[in-house]
A and B are shown apart, each in its own frame.
Chain A
């Protein structure tokens, strides 16, 4: 497709369950970002990839959060042993080159942890 896609769009998990969220960036985009958006707040930076290299993971809230982009295209954000406070919308964005370029966002995955 022409834009950034994310799957699933909605995910309900029981507390303690592991989840994996997928992001398909725009083809050829070098940079990829993951954000977490809690209700009523702006997106919060989680991590940044340049191609397959994870250059910044300073925003990941705990070691239960793990992201990868092994071939420099599709990325997966994995959350282990989910907690209720992990409930949020997880946004993925890609940009053509550097992290200062315009970012193109996917529709997000809404995660609800019961």
Chain B
């Protein structure tokens, strides 16, 4: 993997469903992986910064895991709510910051 990739590109879930999406990145020269949440017309908001293989972080209903050896991170949202609707961006810091294209999540009431 040469670039930071995210899948799926977009996702629609029902309120109450749990969901997850993936960030894939080059595993060489890795320093940190960031997750951001970006709501329309607002600034990106930092969710997590992870640096070590096996890191797991949790913030309320949102959690993330990191595998630096294989170059991926998962973001999980438990019991999705309409206010979770946003674009979720991951960014890998190696020699510089490279953002993925984002996963656009829509939670339907």
Contacts and interface: CB of A to CB of B under 8 A. Distances in A.
Interface of A: 3-4, 33, 35, 40-45, 48, 56, 58-59, 91, 93, 99-108
Contacts of A43: 44, 89, 91, 99
B32, B42, B44, B45 — most chain A CB neighbours (10 Å) = B44
B59 to A, nearest CB: 12
B49 A105 contact: no
Contacts of B49: 100-102
Nearest to B102: A42
By secondary structure, the B interface counts as strand
Main secondary structure of the interface of A (DSSP, over half): loop
Contacts of B42: 107
24 contacts: A4-B43, A33-B97, A35-B97, A40-B101, A42-B4, A42-B91, A42-B99, A43-B44, A43-B91, A45-B97, A56-B96, A59-B96, A91-B44, A99-B93, A99-B96, A100-B31, A100-B51, A102-B34, A104-B43, A104-B46, A105-B43, A105-B45, A107-B42, A107-B43
B43 A103 contact: no
Interface of B: 4, 31-32, 34, 36, 42-46, 49, 51, 89, 91, 93, 96-102
Interface centre among B4, B99, B101 (most CB of A within 10 A): B99
Contacts of A4: 43
Contacts of A93: 44
A101 B45 CA distance: 13
